[in-house]
């Protein structure tokens, strides 16, 4: 794992977008794993800018989102289908047939989870997975005690997640209590992971996720086992990390980051 600290949330989002752009230019058929949430909005804003101003081409890119609420149709304003179309898919030249999110309205949810895993497998696996982190350390909707070998499945949302996301709903009492999410094992199988966290509210959980003991209570600690995972944080989210001097040195000196300094 390596940790990249950027001065602001904007700079952190731009760096993540530039990594995605770099991978896409190298491999136009990139299989990109995507996340939703407030943190990601800045990343999508920058990708849209790169598409408009620098002709970044998404036409051959394939995408798989981490999760979707159960019971929300794609047209629902709170669905992740809708979030993705609004913030990313519609403003760029994405082929919608190549975008994938779990169907939270499927009649047979277990079959839908198996279908989703199979679709990822048929695409050749995920090349680059983008992740946010919840206040209690979930990645996707892998709530506390998610098995590290778990695959895409239905998961009950924890009280912390319900509290974190309910304000986004017009009527918070209508927030679904379950979601389909890629499993921790599905995420660990991706070729490369980028976890983005910004803001002081994420400082505690980032210290535990990156430098704390590996535990199923905090799904993000599983990323310590991933062979190629980078964590991108702003100064606020980095505030409680112990090893910042080392992280800054590696970012300034490792050839992998040369193009991003
Ligand atoms: C959403 C997802 C979640 C979010 C996390 C952070 O697709 O996978 O794990 O990334 O809850 O959300 P924000 O960015 O709203 O704090």
The residues near 232 (Cβ < 8 Å, ≥ 6 apart) are 4, 6, 12, 15, 16, 194, 195, 196, 197
Task: Give the model confidence (pLDDT) of 169-227 as tens digits.
Answer: 989 999 999 999 999 999 999 999 999 999 999 999 999 999 999 999 999 999 999 99
Pocket of ligand 1 (CB under 6 A): 35-39, 66-67, 132-134, 138-140
The residues near 109 (Cβ < 8 Å, ≥ 6 apart) are 70, 154, 180
Atom 13 (ligand 1) nearest CA: 37
pLDDT of the chain along its 261 residues, tens only?
999 999 999 999 999 999 999 999 999 999 999 999 999 999 999 999 999 999 999 999 999 999 999 999 999 999 999 999 999 999 999 999 999 999 999 999 999 999 999 999 999 999 999 999 999 999 999 999 999 999 999 999 999 999 999 999 989 999 999 999 999 999 999 999 999 999 999 999 999 999 999 999 999 999 999 999 999 999 999 999 999 999 999 999 999 999 999
Atom 8 (ligand 1) nearest CA: 140
Structural domain of 61: 2-260
The number of domains in the chain is: 1
**Mutation test residue for ligand 1: of 79, 83, 133, the one with most atoms within 8 Å of CB:** 133
Q: How far apart are the C-alpha atoms of 45 and 11, rounded to whole Å? A: 12
**Residue 58's CB: how many other CB atoms inside 10 A?**
25
pLDDT for res 201: 97
CA of 98 to the centre of ligand 1 (A): 22
pTM: 0.98
Q: Report the CATH number that the domain containing residue 97 is assigned in CATH.
A: 3.40.50.1360
Q: Which atom of ligand 1 is nearest to the CA of 67?
A: 7
CA of 179 to the centre of ligand 1 (A): 13
pLDDT for res 11: 98
**Which residues lie across from 232 on neighbouring strands?**
4, 196
Q: How far apart are the C-alpha atoms of 209 and 255, rounded to whole Å? A: 25
CA of 146 to the centre of ligand 1 (A): 16
Q: How far apart are the C-alpha atoms of 14 and 221, rounded to whole Å? A: 24
pLDDT for res 225: 98
Task: Give the chain's end-to-end CA distance (angstroms, integer).
Answer: 18
């Amino acid at each position: 794992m390596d940790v990249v600290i950027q001065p602001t949330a904007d700079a952190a989002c731009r760096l993540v977008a530039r990594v995605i752009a770099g991978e896409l230019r190298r491999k136009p058929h990139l299989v990109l794993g995507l996340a939703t949430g407030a943190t990601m909005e800045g990343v999508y804003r920058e990708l849209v800018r790169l598409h408009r101003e620098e002709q970044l081409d998404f036409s051959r890119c394939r995408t798989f989102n981490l999760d979707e609420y159960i019971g929300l149709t794609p047209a629902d304003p709170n669905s992740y289908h809708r979030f993705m179309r609004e913030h990313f898919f519609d403003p760029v030249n994405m082929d919608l047939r190549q975008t994938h999110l779990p169907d939270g309205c499927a009649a047979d949810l277990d079959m839908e989870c198996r279908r989703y895993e199979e679709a990822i497998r048929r695409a050749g696996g995920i090349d680059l997975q983008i992740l946010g982190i919840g206040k209690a350390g979930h990645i996707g909707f892998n709530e506390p005690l998610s098995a590290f070998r778990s695959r895409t499945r239905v998961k009950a949302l924890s009280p912390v997640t319900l509290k974190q996301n309910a304000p986004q709903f017009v009527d918070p009492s209508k927030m679904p209590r379950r979601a389909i999410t890629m499993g921790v094992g599905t995420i660990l199988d991706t070729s490369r992971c980028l976890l983005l966290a910004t803001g002081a509210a994420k400082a505690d959980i980032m210290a535990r996720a990156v430098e704390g003991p590996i535990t199923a209570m905090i799904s993000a600690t599983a990323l310590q086992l991933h062979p190629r995972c980078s964590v991108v944080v702003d100064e606020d989210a980095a505030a409680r990390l112990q090893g910042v001097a080392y992280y800054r040195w590696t970012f300034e000196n490792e050839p992998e980051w040369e193009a991003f300094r």
